[in-house]
Amino acid sequence: MPEKILPARLALSALTVLRPLLDDPLLAGFAALLRETAGEKFAPERWLEHYSSFYAALLQRNSRAALSDCLLESLLFTETAFSRACAQAAGEAGDILVQAMLHDLAALQQLAELPAGALKAFVLSNAALPATAAAALRALPEWRTGLGGTSVLPPAAVEVAAAFAGCTKWPDCLPQLAAFYRRHGSGKFARYLGFRWENSSRGGVLRGIDTVDPVRFADLMGYEEQRRVVAENTQLLLQGLPANNLLLYGDRGTGKSSTVKALLNEYGHLGLRLIEVPQTALADLPLILREVKGYRQKFILFVDDLSFAEHGEYFTALKAVLEGGLEHRPPHVVIYATSNRRHLVREKFSERAGLHSGEHDDEVRAADNLQEKLSLADRFGLTITFLAPDQGRYLELVEKMAHRRGLAVGKEELRREALRWERWQNSRSPRTARQFVDWLEGRLKLAGPAALAGSEAGISRKDTNTFT
């Protein structure tokens, strides 16, 4: 086994297309361990430090300490020239890229199949170790080789991982790897479905979200017609047909944001990606468009709770992207925004008074300024309205939710407590209904049906203060 060390070290140094994998801290730690193993000035304590650090990082990534699985995961989700060429909307990887990838896949397989015992045997054979150091080295735990831990990978990657596990030579799996990139994207767009644009000291960056909100349409009640319109528009986007930007406007708690987030769980497997953009980052919209330019995936830029106090860079940036900006919004990108305000920019009575006030400090063309403020919402192709339910609809939602959860409560008791909850919350919406049913379910499980017996056992001021 000692003869495997130098070829593995050379294979790592000779990576070309897959060189970005070395930016992965795990693979960088592996490279450092190999250099230390075959280095000219061997130091036992330093080697033990490198080995233990690498093994600890491996366990953090994979509880089975499966080196092969971790290297395959890095291959699937690191952006390279080959993955990017396959994932782009037009074109395939050229012959030069293909040949380089065949070379690098063979090299990566050498690393994946290098057993920990080979490194330990090499050191024991080539270094004069004190007895205590040799004993410590022999006692070190060893990592696994061989693929098989596909359960730790996202579902989209299981099929291509199984192909690698079933072939003896990794280069033979290049067609399956290219197909994976074409279908699921390259780098972070293959690993994640949801993203958040965050500002950092180096500027804006697109951060993948490990666990997105699992809400689906089946979890939401009411507003079926509104959700149908949103879903149809999204399906047009996924089919490469013209799709509109959407403004979901309405009362708080009516499920506007949940409707948008549910799209990801309904259509993520078809190539939909959702990017959450804070209102304070709207000036970065051109940067985000460049980030997603050319990919096969379809992108929704999601701006939640949109509202402007005055004109400013955020207002101007959104207006430019929605319509008329010099930098064209690509057809595989749409903007979905939610707002509690029909007119997105706050308007003052003084502005309307300025139309005919006669004050010399008022704007001469105040009507133009007013119209510009009112026109932003019109730049969305569709405005979908979510209005708060009336009392009858609210009680109907409560009854459906309670029935779905199997809560054994009489109809009259349920309605009485739901109305009491509504009064304390000063709100009537699907969110209010869900919060009430959450409270009710916990109360029943804690104290049983007697929890609602009599008016004194119902919702108290203490209860509502606790849950609001």
Whichever domain contains 227, its CATH number is 3.40.50.300
Question: So what's the pLDDT on residue 449?
Answer: 62
> How many Cβ atoms from other residues are within 10 Å of residue 239's Cβ?
10
Q: Are residues 151 and 286 in the same domain?
A: no
To the nearest 10°, the Cα dihedral for 434, 438, 440, 446? Answer: 180
Q: Are residues 123 and 95 in the same domain?
A: yes
Q: Are residues 49 and 149 in the same domain?
A: yes
Name the residue with tokens 């309670």: 402
Q: In angstroms, what CA-CA distances link 32 with 12, 26, 110, 111, 118?
A: 11, 10, 16, 13, 16
pTM of the model: 0.82
Distance (Å, rounded) from C-alpha 325 to C-alpha 327? 5
What is the Cβ-side half-sphere exposure of residue 148, based on CA atoms within 13 angstroms?
Answer: 8
Q: Are residues 382 and 395 in the same domain?
A: no
- Residue 281 per-residue DSSP state: G
Q: Are residues 331 and 440 in the same domain?
A: no
What is the phi-psi region of residue 250: left when phi exceeds 0, alpha when psi lies from -120 to 50, beta otherwise? Answer: left
Residue 201 lies in a domain: no
* Distance in angstroms between the alpha carbons of the first and the last residue of the chain: 65
Among 360, 386, 412, which residue terminates a domain? 386
Domain that holds residue 337: 208-386
Residue 237 lies in a domain: yes
| φ and ψ at residue 338, rounded to 5 degrees | -115, 150
Among 386, 406, 427, which residue terminates a domain? 386
Q: Are residues 98 and 170 in the same domain?
A: yes
Q: Are residues 215 and 316 in the same domain?
A: yes
What is the Cβ-side half-sphere exposure of residue 134, based on CA atoms within 13 angstroms?
Answer: 10
Mapping DSSP to helix (H, G, I), strand (E, B) and coil, where does residue 85 land? helix
Question: So what's the pLDDT on residue 424?
Answer: 86
Residue 306 lies in a domain: yes
Question: So what's the pLDDT on residue 457?
Answer: 44
Positions in the chain whose pLDDT score sits under 70: 1-3, 89-91, 149-152, 308-314, 324-327, 341-376, 448-468
Distance (Å, rounded) from C-alpha 8 to C-alpha 107? 8
Question: So what's the pLDDT on residue 42?
Answer: 83
What is the phi-psi region of residue 187: left when phi exceeds 0, alpha when psi lies from -120 to 50, beta otherwise? Answer: left
Residue 443 lies in a domain: yes
Q: Please list, residue by residue across 264-303, b when 16 or more beta carbons sit within 10 angstroms of its beta carbon and e when fewer do.
A: bbbbbeebbbbbbbeeebbebbeebbebbeebbbbbbbbb
Q: Are residues 131 and 275 in the same domain?
A: no
Q: Are residues 436 and 410 in the same domain?
A: yes
Residue 403 lies in a domain: yes
Q: Give burial (CB, 10 Å; 0-12/13-18/19+) of 398.
A: buried
- Residue 213 per-residue DSSP state: -
Q: Are residues 318 and 407 in the same domain?
A: no
